[in-house]
Structure 1
Amino acid sequence: MENCIVRHWLALGYLVLLTGLFWVANGSLFTKFYYGLIAAPALFALILAPHNLRLILREPIVLVFLAFSAWLLLSLSWTQADDGLGGLAKRPLYVFMMFAACALIACKDEQLLLKTLRIGALLAVLAALINLYFHFTTASAGARLIGTGALRNPLLTSHVLGFFCTYWIAAWLTRSERHDWLPILLALPLLVALLATGSRTPLLALTLTSLWMLLITSRRALYLVAALMVAAAISMVFMPELLLQRGLSFRPQLWSEAIRQASEHLWIGHGFDSKFVFNIKGLGWTLSDPHNVELAVLLELGLVGLSLWLLMYGLILLRCLQQRHQGKFQLASALVVYGLSAGLSEGSNFFSRPNENWFLIWIPISLVAALSISQRLQSKP
């Protein structure tokens, strides 16, 4: 029974999580699919085979995540959140089920997890082509690509497209494909769709990811860095508005104000899901988002929460460096670094229900944790 749940139910759920935003009608339905195809079956599988839970709880990444979650739950006692505390308290459980689902699949059949991810990336290429067709045939001049299905704005759409673009670029860098040219060919529609969203964050994230890949892959990453520099130069000549029109978008002023508000409750934060208002001189309207994931953690959970957050990422990157000779860890680390880099200038909803933000944070992190757990299991005598 447990084998059937993991190999069929959870694998299908993982594929739906990866691709559902392209074809599900709305975000609410996407979340329900997650509950029905990942959270519930993962919980059922753990009940049927409790030894798997012990295996998951031995992973340092998971332990730090649980410590972070415990601090988050404690912060609900002083939060200024508008939403019900009961719903907020369930958020860590939803994310933990993601860890559990990926770990269960990887421990049962690691290749099944990686193949499902690859199928999801292939379907994302098809979705990018469809989105580009609709965008260029129906959108008005100057409009930014939003996307089909549950995708609702260009910035969030870029999170999903950037994740899959990074996947194929990393697949090329790690030489994990039989046909060497295939990953680059598949990355191109995703890159064009990324540019069509008008978001500059993915370009910064891809650049930082390529620098990371220089550390853990062959010299091939140098070609990627050079290509990005050429692409930036071409953009400066033919599409200068993409890089220059919006300047820094008031980010320095916004971050300065966010740090000022964080200093009011520096150690413990304002509490999970607290609401903020940032008045930026010269902007003309107020903002509620610090546009930086780490600043959002600092604002809501203080230095204690931020320390645990950074420790979690530190363990992830350390584990990837330790296993850098393996292509699967190289690829997974690229997804983590892409999400971490994109979060430096966008995003703040670090513990949301399943949505586009998960492609920056929890999907990459749970993949590395699952591979790490599987690796420890395989190395046992």
Structure 2
Amino acid sequence: MVLITGMFWVGDGSLYTKVYYALFAAPALLGLVLAPQQIKPILHEPVLLSFLALSAWLLISMGWTQAEDGFSSLAKRPLYVFMLFAGCALIALKSESLLMKTLRIGAGLGALAALINVVWFLQHAAPGERLIGSGALRNPLLTSHVLGFLCTYWVAAWLSRSERHDWLPILMTLPLLAALLATGSRTPLMGLALTSAWMLLLSGKRAMVLVGALLVGAGTVYLAFPEILLQRGTSYRPELWSDAVRQAGEHLWLGAGYESKFEFNIPEIGYLLHDPHNVELAVLLELGLIGLGLWAVMYAFALLRCLRLRAKPQFQIASALLIYGLCAGLTEGGNYLSRPNESWFLIWIPLALLCALSIRHRQSQA
């Protein structure tokens, strides 16, 4: 619950990370120590095995990285993510409904936080200002990662018909969507559109209604506030990605090493950038084609699992969150493996949720 909602109310990112260690990572480790028999089903999950392979290659790449942080500090980061996988799996093995109810309540509290932030923003924001939000939220782009995750949950809950009342997901989506628009970020809007297209495979006619509503909404926004969609153009993404691909070619197979620093020079901007604004390009730059291949295998296993179990509402929700994060990561989220922060809402929380549900399903079928 704190992991899902804490960004809105924990004072800063450092405290948010420490709270995760205390309330999730440490109990997950203790759970594995007290119930070692649970390790076996967890390690039978292909997505998790792919992550462990990716982590092993990441640690190997530390042999040639130019990272500023020491090995011991960086080597802990895969462990933090593994504890997320393990903790979610332990909860699901105990009670899958508890895991999904906690996610639902957290998403509801997130919608309330979004409403409070939007009201405050409308009362105090200067003209042209973009919503950042309260708590540990730092800038509009990162804030949109959290809001987009929560908004996608409620959209998926409505599409999967997993809610008792159809009106509740719609009611919860409205403040989150308003907050997303207030951030001025277009990435979550693209992610939601592509996620809706994906959900056509899973929920049929109801997803067609959503796609139609999104088209109408996009047209309305374009007519009423065209600057939201057009003012910043492509934000120099094509030029940035072209330079990132060029630099990746210099160490194509092995990469420059985890947490290596890069500089991207886009003459039109006038200053250097350090983030490729694309998760897969960040993986390619640091871990090379080998690392990107392992990354692709991890997502391939996850998506195949979603498709095989697409009739189950909980997998429809997990797959929507997974697709949203994958699509949003195409234009944002270069920091793919970090301490707990906003990027986890695009990558690791959706993957951990899917793994937990998959492990639970496999155990129930055994």
Hey, what does 1:11 align to over in structure 2? none
In the TM superposition, what are the counterparts of 1:291-302 in structure 2 within 5 Å?
291-302=277-288
Match 1:322 to one of 308, 315, 332: 308
Larger displacement relative to structure 2 (79-88 or 297-306): 79-88
1:15-68 residue CA offsets vs partner (Å, 9 max, x unmatched)? 000000100000000000010011111111101111111110011111110000
Task: Please report how far the alpha carbon of residue 137 of structure 1 lies from its aligned counterpart in structure 2 after TM superposition.
Answer: 1.0
2:197 is the counterpart of 1:211: yes
Is 1:150 the counterpart of 2:136? The answer is yes
Deviation of 1:180 (Å):
1.1
Matched, 1:349 2:327: no
Report what 1:288 is aligned to: 274
Which amino acid is the alignment partner of residue 264 of structure 2?
F
Equivalent residue in structure 2 for 1:38, among 18, 24, 39: 24
> Moved runs in structure 1, 4+ residues, more than 2 A?
none
Match of 1:133 in 2: 119
> What do residues 161-201 of structure 1 show as CA deviations (whole Å, max 9, x unaligned)?
00000000000101111111211111010000000000000
Matched, 1:179 2:165: yes
Q: Distance in 1 between matches of 2:82 and 2:222?
A: 43
Report percent identity of matched pairs: 66
CA distance in structure 2 between the partners assigned to 1:224 and 1:188 by the alignment: 14
| Aligned counterpart, 2:176 | 190
CA displacement at 1:139 relative to structure 2 = 1.4
Over the aligned positions, Cα root-mean-square deviation in angstroms equals: 0.6
Task: Kindly indicate whether residue 65 of structure 2 is the aligned counterpart of residue 79 of structure 1.
Answer: yes
The partner residue of 1:56 within 31, 36, 42 is 42
1:23 is matched with 9
Instruction: Write out per-residue CA displacement over residues 243-290 of structure 1, whole angstroms, 9 at most, x where no aligned residue.
Output: 111110111110000000000000010000000000012121110000
Query: What one-letter code is carried by the residue in structure 2 that aligns with 1:325?
Result: A
Amino acid at match of 1:288: H
1:329 is displaced (CA, Å) by: 0.2
SS at match of 1:264: helix
Q: Is 1:259 matched with 2:253?
A: no
2:169 partner SS? helix
Name the SS of the counterpart of 1:304 in structure 2: helix
CA distance, structure 2, for counterparts of residue 283 and residue 371 of structure 1: 45
Task: Give me the whole-angstrom Cα distance separating, in 2, the residues matched to 1:279 and 1:162.
Answer: 30
Taking structure 2 as the reference length, what is the TM-score of the superposition?
0.99
1:120 aligned partner: 106
- Aligned counterpart for 1:248 among listed residues 203, 211, 234: 234
1:103 partnered with 2:89? yes
Is 2:256 the counterpart of 1:270?
yes
Distance 2:85 2:19 in 1: 17
Secondary structure of 1:90's partner? helix
Structure 2 residue 358 is the aligned partner of structure 1 residue 358? no
What residue in structure 2 maps to residue 163 of structure 1?
149
What is the TM-score with the length of structure 1 in the denominator? Answer: 0.95
2: distance between equivalents of 1:105 and 1:300? 33
Counterpart-to-counterpart distance in 1, 2:137 and 2:248: 31
Q: Are residue 334 (structure 1) and residue 294 (structure 2) matched? A: no
Task: Give 1:90's match in structure 2, choosing from 73, 76, 82.
Answer: 76
Query: Over residues 327-379 of structure 1, what are the superposed CA-to-partner deviations in whole Å (9 max), with x where a residue is unaligned?
Result: 00000000000000000001100001000000000000000000000000000
Shift of 1:218: 2.4
Q: How many residues align?
A: 366
Of 284, 297, 310, the residue aligned with 2:296 is 310
One-letter amino acid of the structure 1 residue matched with residue 18 of structure 2: K
The one of 348, 362, 366 equivalent to 1:376 is 362
* SS of the residue 2:99 aligns to: helix
Instruction: Give 1:231's aligned amino acid.
Output: G
Unaligned runs of 5+ in 1: 1-14
Residue 10 (structure 1) aligns with: none
Partner Cα separation in structure 2 for residue 125 and residue 343 of structure 1: 22
Q: CA deviation at 1:216?
A: 1.1
- State the partner residue of 1:6: none
Deviations 1:94-134 (A, max 9, x none): 00000000000000000000000001001001100110111
